[in-house]
Structure 1
Amino acid sequence: MLKPRKKMTKKELKTDPFFEKMDAFLRFYKRNEKRIWTILIAVILIGISGSYITRSEIKKQEKAKSQISIAQFYMKSGQEDRAVSLLSEVRDGLYGKKYIGYAAYYLGDINLKNRNYKQAEENYREFLSSKSGDRLMKATAQAALGAVEESREAYEKASEFYLEALKLADLTNLKINFGEKAFQNALKAGHTQRAEHVLDLLEKLDLDEIQKNKIVSYRALLRK
């Protein structure tokens, strides 16, 4: 048979560790009640404002993506003025920072096509410094900078950019295209060592017979 629990005396309650801690907590709370509530309210307000900022930022990002998609449509349909207008809004940061680099990339495409080389260079450099985009976009941006330098007859710089594009590209056809550009510009600059290095890289690719023969002919050019 269970014995009834003994009731604790006031003296025992005072010396019980649990009740001692509770008593200490209540004394602390009474002394700091205003401060505690001030901190709690501040934390709640920060949480609410943080949630609002997050939702606002997501909306901006969605708007930026929409602007870029519409701009790409305008670019394909030859309405470049409209594309530039939309891309410039994104690039100027009206819809947050995340897609600024992407907008700069497509502005670079438009400027390069229209031979606005200085502006195109600024756009592509801004894109690359933003760390945005995939390897394909980075490779084509490097190649575009190579084309800009080639237009200035700065062949050594052009070969550097095309070589970087070759290293970044994943598709064999793109690698070959960028590699040939790197080789040709290195040759024009009289940089035979870099030209040989480019051919070494190209020979490691899965080439067909025509492409292999082209590499052989390039080797012959170096021996002249």
Structure 2
Amino acid sequence: MLQPRKKLSKRDIKEDPLVTAYGNAQRWFQNHSKVINIAVIAVIAISVLSVLMARSKRQAELRAEGQLGIVEQYYHFGQYDHAINELTRIINTFSGTRAAGKAAFFAANAYFELHDYDNAERYFRLYADDYGQIDFFTSSSLAGIAACLEHRADDAGAADFYEKAARKFPKLYLAPYQLKNAARCYTKIGQLHKAKALYELIHDKYQDTPVARETEILMGLVS
């Protein structure tokens, strides 16, 4: 036989754990509703701001790339002074974009062609230190710094940067040529053991390259 269902008293309802928890939660939300609303608004604002910033960066990148494409024509036709003016404008206007990094690399090469090795080194360093998204450009920038130092008769510094460029990007086809340049600079300052070690590295690791065949003769000169 079914037992009659017990009627819950107000005290029983009040002592029910679920009811108590719900009541506590409700009171907590009422007491902190202002803080919660501010937090929610802040999260939404940050999300919207992030989307807007990402969109703005994409638009800046597209504008910079478009302008860079035009300026590159001046560079390739040897109009280096005009190219430098436009390239530095892109660097300053669109700082932090991939296109600004490319502009820094081209500006460095343009200055180098004009034999302005101080500014060439400055922009090679700008690319290597602040951008460096493209391995080929980074490797070439490090070697560019080395070439600028070599033109100023800092053969020790040049050797260091040529070697750094090769060791940082050993799989690039530039690597054995950069090692050869480093070895040449070490030879000029009398560090023949370092030069020989690099020639041996070229001979062993890059034996299928044209540079490797030259090292057999060069090793004899530093032994």
Distance 1:53 1:219 in 2: 56
Worse-matched range after superposition: 40-49 or 142-151: 40-49
Structure 2 CA distance for partners of 1:16 and 1:136, relative to 1, 3 Å: same
Partner residue in 1 for 2:103: 103
1:27 Cα offset (Å): 2.1
Is contact 1:139–1:169 with CA below 8 Å preserved after alignment?
Answer: no
Instruction: Extract unaligned runs of 5+ from structure 2.
Output: none
**What whole-Å deviation, never above 9, does each CA across 1:48-106 have from its counterpart, x for those lacking one?**
333322322232233333333333343223344453334213322x2242434433222
Distance 2:51 2:114 in 1: 44
TM-score, normalising length from structure 1? 0.82
Structure 2 CA distance for partners of 1:203 and 1:3, relative to 1, 3 Å: farther
Partner residue in 2 for 1:132: 132
Residue identity opposite 1:141 in structure 2:
S
1:202 Cα offset (Å): 0.8
Distance 1:121 1:58 in 2: 29
Partner residue in 2 for 1:112: 112
- How many pairs are equivalent? 221
Distance 1:10 1:159 in 2: 89
Partner residue in 1 for 2:165: 165
Is contact 1:101–1:128 with CA below 8 Å preserved after alignment?
Answer: no
Structure 2 CA distance for partners of 1:196 and 1:13, relative to 1, 3 Å: same
Instruction: Extract unaligned runs of 5+ from structure 1.
Output: none
Counterpart mapping for 1:43-192 below 5 A = 43-92=43-92, 94-99=93-98, 100-167=100-167, 168-172=169-173, 174-192=174-192
Is contact 2:87–2:107 with CA below 8 Å preserved after alignment?
Answer: yes
Structure 2 CA distance for partners of 1:215 and 1:29, relative to 1, 3 Å: closer
1:124 Cα offset (Å): 0.9
TM-score, normalising length from structure 2? 0.82
1:198 Cα offset (Å): 1.3
Worse-matched range after superposition: 110-119 or 29-38: 29-38
Distance 1:34 1:20 in 2: 23
Residue identity opposite 1:109 in structure 2:
N
Is contact 2:182–2:195 with CA below 8 Å preserved after alignment?
Answer: yes
